[in-house]
């Protein structure tokens, strides 16, 4: 009797475990961060609850497709470098299952994006296409930063073009988002540079090398702070100036501490990125 019960329990646990690992394969941290950012921008831009949810769902589907396609494409390379935290390498789900999930999410992303408006949907899908292009080959070139810049820049543009009258996005929001994307690229790749080089991936950060990439990491993020403060609606004010000073101080501090604390530039970049996101959300109503 106990054997039957244990067998039944095990058969129930297996699908749950597979779903858990499949969700891990979508890169849940970046996926959640980007999705929540767009939800916040949509609310800040004055979208109603249902409209904001629609935009958020479209971005979630797009990010899931990019995350899953990344793990599906990199499965063989991850196996070579022994990345047992990856679902496919750990043997918890197959590369085919992850690939099917990516295609399914992309298929769902298409109608959700266009439901936000034809122009807005086209811009969003351009950003999603940039993510797929990165996974399918651009990540191994000197232009590896470009899909991140395009993908992040498409987010405020997607929100703005989905507003009534389809206003063109403010230049500073698109530029700052693109700079955030470049910083995100450096941050994402930094921990894996050694493994990437061992498997022949020579993107922009890999060509720089770990030390130079770490030192460069805060710069596009600080540049985004300056763009948001100087280009945003209204005068910079004390809050804006304080944000710039704080971002520069944190970034410089991280670089100076790199010799004794190798993770200091990365931690500093996280703080500066948080400042940038807060500024972008605060000024979100200026998207149009």
Query: How buried is residue 56: exposed, middle or buried, by Cβ count under 10 Å (0-12/13-18/19+)?
Result: buried
- Reported as a single tens digit per residue, the pLDDT across 265-284 is 767 777 888 888 888 877 76
What is the per-residue pLDDT across 55-114, written as a single tens digit (0 to 9) for each?
A: 999 999 999 999 999 989 988 888 887 777 787 877 788 889 999 999 999 999 999 999
Distance CA 254, CA 182 (A): 18
- Both structure tokens of 88: 């496919």
The answer to whether 20 and 48 are in contact (CB under 8 A) is no
pLDDT tens digits for 242-269? 888 888 888 888 777 766 776 677 677 7
pLDDT digits (tens, 9 = 90+) for 202-211: 999 999 998 8
pLDDT in tens, 109-134: 999 999 999 999 999 999 999 999 99
Q: What angle do CA 83, 84, 90 make, to 5 degrees?
A: 130
Which of the two residues, 283 and 33, has the higher pLDDT score? 33
pLDDT confidence of residue 234: 66
Q: pLDDT of 134-188, one tens digit each?
A: 999 999 999 999 999 999 999 999 999 988 887 888 899 899 899 989 988 998 8
How crowded is the C-beta side of 256, counted as CA atoms within 13 Å?
6
Angle between helices 264-282 and 237-256 (to 10 degrees): 160
**Using one digit for the tens of pLDDT, what is the confidence trace for 211-237?**
899 888 888 988 988 988 888 666 667
- DSSP string for the chain: -HHHHHHHHHHHHHHHHHHHHHHHTT-HHHHHHHHHHHHHHHHHTT--HHHHHHHHHHHHHHHHHHHHHHHHHTHHHHHHTT-TTSTTTTTSS-HHHHHHHHHHHHHHHHHHHHTT-HHHHHHHHHHHHHHHHHHTTGGGSTTTHHHHHHHHHHHHHHHHHTSTT-PPPPHHHHHHHHHHHHHHHHHHHGGGHHHHHHTT---HHHHH-HHHHHHHTHHHHHHHHHHHHHHSSS--HHHHHHHHHHHHHHHHHHHHTTTT-TTHHHHHHHHHHHHHHHHHHHTGGG--
Cβ–Cβ under 8 Å, residues 247 and 210: no
**Sign of the torsion formed by the C-alpha atoms of 29, 31, 32 and 36:** positive
Q: Which residues, at least 6 apart from 92, have a Cβ–Cβ distance to it below 8 Å?
A: 17, 18, 21
pLDDT at 8: 45
Asked if the model's pLDDT at residue 11 lies above 60, the reply is: no
Residue 12 pLDDT > 60: no
């Amino acid at each position: 009797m106990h054997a039957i019960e244990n067998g039944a329990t095990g058969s129930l646990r297996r699908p749950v475990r597979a779903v858990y690992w499949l969700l891990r394969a979508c890169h849940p941290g970046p996926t959640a961060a980007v999705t929540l950012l767009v939800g916040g921008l949509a609310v800040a831009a004055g979208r109603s609850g249902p409209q904001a949810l629609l935009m958020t769902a479209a971005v979630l589907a797009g990010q899931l497709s990019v995350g899953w396609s990344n793990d599906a494409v990199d499965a063989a390379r991850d196996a070579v470098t022994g990345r047992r935290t990856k679902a496919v390498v750990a043997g918890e789900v197959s590369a085919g299952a992850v690939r099917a999930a990516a295609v399914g999410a992309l298929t769902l992303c298409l109608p959700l994006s266009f439901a936000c408006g034809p122009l807005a949907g086209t811009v969003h899908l351009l950003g999603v296409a940039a993510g797929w292009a990165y996974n399918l080959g651009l990540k191994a070139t000197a232009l590896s930063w470009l899909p991140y810049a395009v993908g992040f820049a498409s987010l405020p543009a997607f929100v703005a073009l989905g507003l009534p009258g389809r206003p063109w996005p403010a230049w500073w929001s698109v530029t700052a988002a693109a700079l955030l994307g470049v910083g995100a690229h450096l941050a994402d790749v930094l921990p894996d540079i050694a493994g990437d080089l061992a498997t022949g991936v020579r993107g922009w950060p890999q060509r720089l090398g770990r030390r130079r990439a770490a030192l460069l990491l805060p710069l596009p993020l600080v540049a985004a702070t300056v763009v948001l403060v100087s280009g945003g609606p209204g005068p910079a004010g004390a809050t804006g100036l304080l944000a710039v000073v704080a971002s520069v101080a944190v970034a410089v501090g991280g670089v100076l501490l790199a010799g004794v604390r190798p993770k200091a530039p990365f931690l500093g970049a996280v703080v500066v990125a948080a400042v940038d996101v807060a500024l972008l959300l605060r000024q979100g109503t200026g998207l149009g």
